[in-house]
């Protein structure tokens, strides 16, 4: 059964803006129910198949692949191209700042999946050797799997969007999803952008479509532990939509899911940010507003973490389109090398340089700042403007004036 159909002892808090509760009652109520077989989001055999699918060596080898904004490369993040500005000025990025929180001794731990977009059309999926999963070219570093099977599941990039779907409806719940082959430290925030999930045809009585944005333990393939946090939008044939957030812990078929918040929802794009330590804290922002802030949890989700994107259906062909993914591992956007008193302007924000630095106070849970960075340098005859760019929280740049 999907998350939307399972029972929940969720206790929404509407009297305060900061929801925070202990789900122990939820755990007790679920454990007191008659025993039954757990079906993880319609994929009753997924955990077992995934554990069997990936030799540990293959996982470690795959883990060092870094997804770029349009094409993947192995190894650590490559320095970004310096931005050129008027008058010969240069804005050079410092990618060493992105390694904050990463454990360099941990194989496959990536400090950043920086601004993953899907500008290039994808080629045919390739079966990963010795595995039931498929890789997703040209975005090496993502892999596809799910109970829909490769015959019915589909993943493609076109028009700048990543389309994940199930081609034909099935009587029971089936899903298709993408996971990253690399893992990310729990110090990062996980950001997902998607277009509005489509309506389910009203003629399909009882049909359900679902978009899922989630983060699981990076040890799933070796341990079979199905531990994850998620945000999900469920769309019904009668037009109802719900948005929910929660987590699951347990082993393969015996995991227990906890829905911490579920509310009626409406159509529209989703921008979701998830931040969790995998232990006792889970915070979710939706479209720039805090949706859930839960503390005192007992999740036991072992970091480093692995994001995934999914679609789920029952009784209808269904596809969702993701626009972008980013793991953001630092706060603020900072530009150093500036004369004190320089006024920096970006995306409607202003920052005045002090101590040689101008800082835009953007939290890692926030979306990027985008557009033309403008510097009004004391004594200069005109502002310095740089080419349009997307600046993520954690970005660090150094300004070099022109000749």
DSSP code, position 386: B
Task: Determine contact, residues 355/367, Cβ cutoff 8 Å.
Answer: no
Q: Which residues pair with 145 in a beta bridge?
A: 177
Q: What is the pLDDT of residue 367?
A: 87
Q: Which residue has the tokens 């039931």?
A: 132
Q: How far is residue 101's CA from residue 247's CA, in Å, rounded to a whole number?
A: 23
Contact 20, 294 (CB under 8 A): yes
Q: What does the pLDDT average to over 297-307?
A: 92
Digit-coded pLDDT (tens) for 160-209: 999 999 999 999 999 999 998 888 889 899 999 999 999 998 887 899 99
pLDDT higher than 90, residue 125? no
Chain centroid to CA 113: 9
- Give the percent of the chain with pLDDT over 90: 54
d(CA 403, CA 401): 7
288: DSSP letter: T
- pLDDT tens digit sequence for 146-173: 999 999 999 999 999 999 999 999 999 9
Output the pLDDT for position 220. 79
What gap in Å lies between CA 81 and CA 86, rounded to an integer? 16
- Residue 64 DSSP code: T
Residue 237 has pLDDT above 90, yes or no: yes
The average confidence (pLDDT) of the chain is 77
Query: Highest-confidence range of 4-13, 85-94, 110-119, by mean pLDDT?
Result: 85-94
DSSP string, 108-119: TB-S--TTB-B-
Q: How confident is the model at residue 258 (pLDDT cuts 50, 70, 90)?
A: very high
Higher pLDDT, 126 or 5: 126
3-state secondary structure of 243: strand
Pairing mode of beta strands 126-127, 134-135: antiparallel
Domain ranges of the chain: 24-71+112-328, 82-99+331-400
H or E, element range at 30: helix 24-31
DSSP 190-228: EEEEEPPPPPPPTTSTT-EEEEEEEEEETTHHHH-B--E
Tens-digit pLDDT profile for residues 326-366: 888 888 999 999 999 999 999 999 999 999 999 999 998 88
Other CB atoms within 10 Å distance of the CB of residue 219: 18
As given in the structure block, the two tokens for residue 112 are: 């950043």
Tokens of residue 292, six digits: 């859930």
β 396-400/333-336 pair status: parallel
DSSP per residue over 297-324, as a string?
-----PSSEEEEEEEEEESS-EEEEEEE
Would you say 92 and 398 are in contact if contact means Cβ atoms under 8 Å apart? yes
Q: Return the percent helix, strand and coil in the chain, to nearest 5.
A: 10, 40, 50
Beta bridge partners of 215: 229, 307
pLDDT at res. 112: 57
More confident residue, 398 or 218: 398
- What CATH number belongs to 24-71+112-328? 2.60.120.200
Handedness of CA 69, 71, 76, 79 (dihedral sign): negative
Helix (H, G, I), strand (E, B) or coil at 361: coil
Tokens read off for 98: 């992105």
- Give Cα separations from 190 to 41, 142, 235, 285 (angstroms): 21, 15, 23, 10
pLDDT tens track for 22-72:
222 233 233 222 222 222 333 332 333 333 333 333 332 333 222 332 223
13 burial type by CB count under 10 A (0-12 exposed, 13-18 middle, 19+ buried): exposed
Burial class (CB in 10 A: 0-12, 13-18, 19+), 383: middle
Tokens representing 273 are 């940010």
C-alpha closest to that of 395 among 326, 335, 306, 327: 335
């Amino acid at each position: 059964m999907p998350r939307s159909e399972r029972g929940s002892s969720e206790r929404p808090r509407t009297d305060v803006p900061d929801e925070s509760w202990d789900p122990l009652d939820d755990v007790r109520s679920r454990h007191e129910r008659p025993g039954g077989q757990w079906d993880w989001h319609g994929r009753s055999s997924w955990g077992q198949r995934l554990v069997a699918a990936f030799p540990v060596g293959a996982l470690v080898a795959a883990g060092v692949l870094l997804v770029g904004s349009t094409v993947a490369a192995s190894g650590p993040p490559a320095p970004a191209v310096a931005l050129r500005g008027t008058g010969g000025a240069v804005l050079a990025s410092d990618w060493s700042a992105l390694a904050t929180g990463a454990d360099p001794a941990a194989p496959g731990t990536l400090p950043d999946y920086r601004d993953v977009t899907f500008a290039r059309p994808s080629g045919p999926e390739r079966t990963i050797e010795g595995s039931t999963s498929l890789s997703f070219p040209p975005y090496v570093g993502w892999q596809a799997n799910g109970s829909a099977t490769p015959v019915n599941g589909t993943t493609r990039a076109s028009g700048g969007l990543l389309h994940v779907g199930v081609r034909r409806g099935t009587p029971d719940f089936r899903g298709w999803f993408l996971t990253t082959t690399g893992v990310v430290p729990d110090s990062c925030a996980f950001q997902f952008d998607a277009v509005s999930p489509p309506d389910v045809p009203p003629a399909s009585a009882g049909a359900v479509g679902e978009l899922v944005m989630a983060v699981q333990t990076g040890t799933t393939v070796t341990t079979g532990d199905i531990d994850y946090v998620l945000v999900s939008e469920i769309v019904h044939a009668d037009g109802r939509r719900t948005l929910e957030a929660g987590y699951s812990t347990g082993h393969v078929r015996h995991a227990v899911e906890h829905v911490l918040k579920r509310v009626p929802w409406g159509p529209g794009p989703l921008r979701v940010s998830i931040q969790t330590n995998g232990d006792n804290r889970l915070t979710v922002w939706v479209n720039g507003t805090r949706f859930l802030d839960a503390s005192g949890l007992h999740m036991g989700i072992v970091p480093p973490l692995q994001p995934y994107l999914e679609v789920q259906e029952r009784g209808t062909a269904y596809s969702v389109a993701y626009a972008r993914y980013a793991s953001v591992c630092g706060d603020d956007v900072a530009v150093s090398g500036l004369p004190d008193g320089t006024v920096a302007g970006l995306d409607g924000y202003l920052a005045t340089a002090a101590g040689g630095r101008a800082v835009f106070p953007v939290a890692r849970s926030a979306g990027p700042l985008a557009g033309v960075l403008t510097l009004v340098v004391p004594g200069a005859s005109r502002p310095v403007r740089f080419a349009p760019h997307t600046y993520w929280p954690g970005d660090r740049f150094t300004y070099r004036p022109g000749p």
